Amino acid sequence: QQLISREWVNNARSRWDMYVAKNGEVPPAGVMPIHGLDVAEQGADSNVLCKRYGGFVPRLKAWSGMDTVSTADKGAFEHKQSHALVTYVDATGVGVGVAPEMVRQGCVAVGVKVAESPTIECELGAFAQLGDQLAWEVREWLRADPGAMLPPDEMLIQELLTPTYDVVRGKIKVMPKNKSDGRVCMRDLLKRSPDRFDALKMTFAGSA
């Protein structure tokens, strides 16, 4: 019941290394990125920005601090610098004000609430909530997309390999980030928040 296999992650890492050996750490020409921004929930958590240029994911950017305005400022700066198509922001809890502030600064930014209802189903059934759907999107990208490329980021890789999933009464439930219904959570296993995985998940919110 592991959500993402080590083989898929290793393949994506190898493709990244081969791409960089040929092109350097330069995104593919002519491809506008989709940004995913995970906003820090607790003092020890990080804000993490993930940029995805089709299948190429450059090194993620992380910074500390829980100030909504400064997070929005940073997100807006990166959005404009990269000429991003859109920035999807985890709008759960403290992140709710970040996307609106980025919009006020002239960005295309959308808040995403992972506890909302899913928008699609898969062959195993329906998803319990949107967050489960986005985690599954990352799984399928790594499993089936021959262009998926992951940067050398041990924390991200650890987060990708941690969650399991269950199918409960026809609903797909991925291991939650925080305690929920007494289930084992990623924060307990990692001893930190899976901020990098969350930022990568946000880049798939456009398919929701």
Euclidean distance between CA atoms 62 and 96, whole angstroms: 19
Question: Structure tokens of 142?
Answer: 């790594």
pLDDT grade, residue 203 (50/70/90)?
very high
User: Which amino acid type is present at position 68?
Assistant: T
pLDDT at 5 over 70: yes
- Give the pLDDT confidence of 111-164 residue by residue, as tens digits: 999 999 998 888 888 999 999 999 999 999 999 999 999 999 999 999 999 999
Q: What is the pLDDT of residue 208?
A: 52
Averaged pLDDT for residues 32-43:
91
Place of tokens 């090194």: 59
Averaged pLDDT for residues 52-65:
96
Q: What is the pLDDT of residue 77?
A: 98
Please tell me whether residue 51 adopts helix, strand or coil conformation.
Answer: strand
Question: What separation in angstroms does the CA of 140 have from each of 5, 9, 168, 197?
Answer: 11, 12, 20, 14
Question: DSSP string covering 130-197, please?
Answer: HHHHHHHHHHHHHHH-TT-B--S-HHHHHHHHS-BEEEETTEEEEPPSS-BTTB--HHHHHTS--HHH
Euclidean distance between CA atoms 45 and 66, whole angstroms: 9
Q: What is the pLDDT of residue 67?
A: 86
**Entry pTM:** 0.95
User: Which amino acid type is present at position 79?
Assistant: H
Beta bridge partners of 56: 53, 149
